[in-house]
Structure 1
Amino acid sequence: MSFLLRLTSSLKGRKVGTDHFGNVYYEGKTSQPIYDRPRRWVLFAHGKEPTTVPPEWHAWLHHTTPEPLPETRLYPWQQEHRPNLTGTPHAYRPAGHDYVGGTRRVTGGDYEAWTPGA
């Protein structure tokens, strides 16, 4: 993030909190004239990657909740938030993908390849 963005965030807004990814959340000191509510924004810790915003903070950013929700696990079925891993070595690759080994399961035997003109 640039120096100018950090400077204007500290002057025009108040720091509300940070998440476990290191993102810092701000709320404007004045209300917007059209919406009659303050502007909310985030300064990303590691580049501009919006998928690192956890659902608790996402709800606050979009004015769904007045306060940020607690980042604690409330139920045993809840999982920890993960950013989008597409394009990284940790991305999901199904069986048969070239990076996993490239071997597909054997088809059922009812498949007959099409040949043109036959």
Structure 2
Amino acid sequence: MQRYVDMVVNLAKIFKQNKGPFGMLRTMYRTDDLKWGTLVGEDKYGNKYYENNYFFYGRNRWIIYNELVHMDYDASQVPAEWYGWLHYKTDLLPHNDPNRPKYKWMIDHQQNLSGTKKAYMPYSTAKPKVEAWKPL
């Protein structure tokens, strides 16, 4: 009986966190998973990071990507400081870590742009060794 009570309580927490049935459907559509947890932080790109130790180790920290990217999200959109927390390299949140280095020469995080119009395309400035035949 207690198991069913726990399931109902957890379902109510999921319902509350996702702001109703339509929010639950949207979350299920985007992430294929319904969880409830504590919001521990948000990065400057709008990604939200959650933790819930009710779930087993390895599944108790997760990210909800910014709604603006819709379904075009991937792991390269996670900044390095949050990557370490998500993958258990550290238990300190980025805004609570006193030893986090920040130098002037460090550039801002940028996602992987492969497969987009902004992808890097190298080109050669050297003359090719073999030239194609051009008929007269």
Check whether TM > 0.5.
Answer: yes
Structure-1 separation of matches of 2:109 and 2:122: 21
Among the aligned pairs, what percent are the same residue? 32
Shift of 1:76: 2.2
Paired AA for residue 119 in structure 2: A
Unpaired segments of 5 or more residues in structure 1? 97-103, 114-118
Question: Structure 2 vs 1, CA of residues 112 and 22 (structure 1 numbering), >3 Å: closer, same or farther?
Answer: closer
Residue 55 (structure 1) aligned with residue 80 (structure 2):
yes
Cα shift at 1:3: 2.4
Is 1:39 paired with 2:60? yes
Displacement of 1:19? 0.8
Q: What CA distance in whole angstroms lies between the structure 2 residues aligned with 1:62 and 1:81?
A: 18
> Is the contact made by 1:14 and 1:29 (CA closer than 8 Å) also made in structure 2?
no
Q: CA deviation at 1:21?
A: 1.2
Q: Give the match for residue 111 of structure 2.
A: 83
Q: In structure 1, give the amino acid aligned to 2:88.
A: H
Structure 2 unaligned residues grouped into runs of 5+? 1-21, 29-33, 132-136
The residue type equivalent to 2:42 in the other structure is T
How do residues 1-118 of structure 1 correspond to structure 2 at under 5 angstroms? Answer: 3-4=23-24, 5=27, 8-9=34-35, 12-30=36-54, 32=56, 35=57, 39-45=60-66, 46=69, 47=71, 48-70=73-95, 74-96=102-124, 104-107=125-128, 111=129
1:99 aligns to what? none
After superposition, the C-alpha distances for 1:7-58 in whole angstroms (9 at most, x for unaligned) are x44xx200011111111100014252xx4x8710000112332211000000
Q: How many residue pairs are counted as aligned between the two chains?
A: 96
Distance 1:112 1:14, change over 3 A: closer
Structure 1 or 2: more helix by fraction = 2
Residue type at the aligned position of 1:55: A
Q: Indicate conservation of the 8 Å contact 1:59/1:68, yes or no.
A: no
TM-score for the superposition, normalised by structure 1: 0.66
